[in-house]
Amino acid sequence: MTREELVKRNLDLHAEWMRYAFDNPDVLDRFPKGATLVILPEDDPELSAENAKAIDASRAKGLPVVVVRMKSPKPRISTIEVVAA
């Protein structure tokens, strides 16, 4: 997996996580101060393994870690219609 693919796939996960957090803001109360958020996609073992490295790195530094397991978001089809005036 290239660095570009890694970033794109993680951005997709992060966007889905943010939607969830906006709908369920109380979930953020469970985060310790200064915690690293690591998302492990259940259906993408390659990305999950890459992201798991962040868990070890943060713990080695003594930082708290919050791990979220979720499925990768499905591609969304935009319903936006642009009409020239």
Burial class (CB in 10 A: 0-12, 13-18, 19+), 2: exposed
Helical spans, DSSP H, in the chain:
3-23, 45-60
pLDDT score of 40? 96
Q: What is the pLDDT of residue 73?
A: 84
Q: How far apart are CA 15 and CA 18, in angstroms?
A: 5
Domains of the chain (ranges plus CATH)?
A: 3-70 (3.40.1350)
Rg (the chain; Cα; Å):
16
Across the chain, which has 85 residues, the per-10-residue mean pLDDT values are: 92 94 94 94 95 94 95 76 77
